[in-house]
Chain A
């Protein structure tokens, strides 16, 4: 009876785990999506450096605010070997491009036109945007929604 309860509890808890947000320590799922010029960029091609993967959209007000913050730190991060890969969930390509110009985004940008339902996006298991993941040079998630202020310090301590 006890064993049966234990098996039931384990299965019950693991069902939550499978839907939970991608945790630190997990292998970063693949990303291969087109940039503004239509050229495909993959996360795999950035292996060997730290990458902040940032999921956002032009219609998401907190994401637009977050873009401004990333802009503030991007130059500093680059000197420490951190790249930023913005993944937009915009369905409307024109709105995405307009937002890139408005927010003066100079980091890597790709677009996922099927929005939330893109299998590549679903693998990241986030429930809202903005959501960002700090990926180490080996392709492992080291932090979820890291505070931009502490990214440089975090990398230095690794």
Chain B
């Protein structure tokens, strides 16, 4: 009797693990992160090391032309945009621009709604995605204040509160 219960439990957990494994693909495949500050962000050891230590980051490649970091994400691990902002700010810089490429396939309903939920985080997309599925994070703290104010006057739902924990607002890029 006990053996039956144990084997059923193992079976249940195996299926759950399999389902979780399948659904646990990364929301985003790569990003371009522009960090700003009083000094050259690309030249700082602390920001390189802090980004490289995030568990979901595969590689960090600085790009001189765009003054940005090209980030590649690991497949299978959730990307936290809030963590990206935290490590940049802890290193003494600010995010000037964070543009991500959506990896996750979107269902017809999600495409029509312009939003998807991934592991407890709701991603709300403004505008229509093209085939590259590039989006800019438009929450407070992800761009210079002046730029945020301009966007906040257009998209009234944006607030000064630096959240991006359970709700991330994205703008489709062309």
* A residues neighboring B (CB under 8 Å): 57-64, 91-92, 115-117, 126-130
Chain A-chain B contacts (Cβ-Cβ < 8 Å), number: 40
Most A C-beta atoms less than 10 A away, residue of B42, B43, B64: B43
- Of B39, B40, B48, the residue contacting A116 (CB under 8 A) is B48
**Known pairs A60-B40, A61-B40, A62-B40; A127 contacts B46 (CB<8 A):** yes
Please report whether the interface of chain A is mostly helix, strand, loop or mixed according to DSSP: loop
Cross-chain contact B43 with A126 (CB below 8 angstroms)? no
B63: Cβ under 8 A from any A Cβ: yes
Q: Is the CB of B64 within 8 A of A116?
A: no
Q: Which of B30-75 contact A (CB under 8 A)?
A: 39-40, 42-46, 48-49, 52, 61-64, 67
Q: In the complex, what residue of chain B is closest to A90 when comparing beta carbons?
A: B62
Q: What chain B residues lie within 8 Å of A130 (beta carbons)?
A: 43
Partner of A127, one of B42, B44, B64, B67: B44
Tell me, in angstroms, the Cα distance from A128 to B39 when the chains sit together: 10
Q: How far is the CA of A142 from the CA of B142 in the complex (A)?
A: 42
Chain B contacts for A128, CB-based, 8 A? 39-40, 43-45
Given A128-B39, A128-B40, also A61-B64 (CB < 8 A): yes
How many interface residues does B have (CB within 8 Å)?
Answer: 15
Alpha-carbon distance A115/B62, docked complex (angstroms): 11
**Besides A128-B43, A128-B45, 15 new A-B residue pairs in contact (Cβ under 8 A), listed by A number:** A57-B62, A59-B42, A59-B63, A59-B64, A62-B40, A62-B43, A63-B43, A64-B64, A92-B61, A117-B49, A117-B52, A127-B44, A127-B46, A128-B39, A128-B44
Q: Which residues on the A side are within 8 Å of B67 (C-beta)?
A: 61
CA–CA, A60 and B43, complex, Å = 6
Complex Cα gap A126–B46 (Å): 10
Can you list 27 contacts pairing A with B, beta carbon distance less than 8 Å?
A57-B43, A57-B62, A58-B64, A59-B42, A59-B62, A59-B63, A60-B43, A60-B62, A61-B43, A61-B64, A61-B67, A62-B40, A62-B43, A63-B43, A64-B64, A91-B61, A92-B61, A116-B45, A116-B48, A116-B49, A117-B52, A126-B45, A127-B44, A127-B45, A128-B39, A128-B40, A130-B43
In the complex, the chain B residue whose C-beta lies closest to that of A92 is B61
In the complex, what distance in Å separates the CA atom of A91 from the CA atom of B44? 15
CB neighbours (8 Å) of B42 from chain A are 59-61
Q: Which residues of A contact B40 (CB under 8 A)?
A: 60-62, 128
Q: How far is the CA of A23 from the CA of B54 in the complex (A)?
A: 31
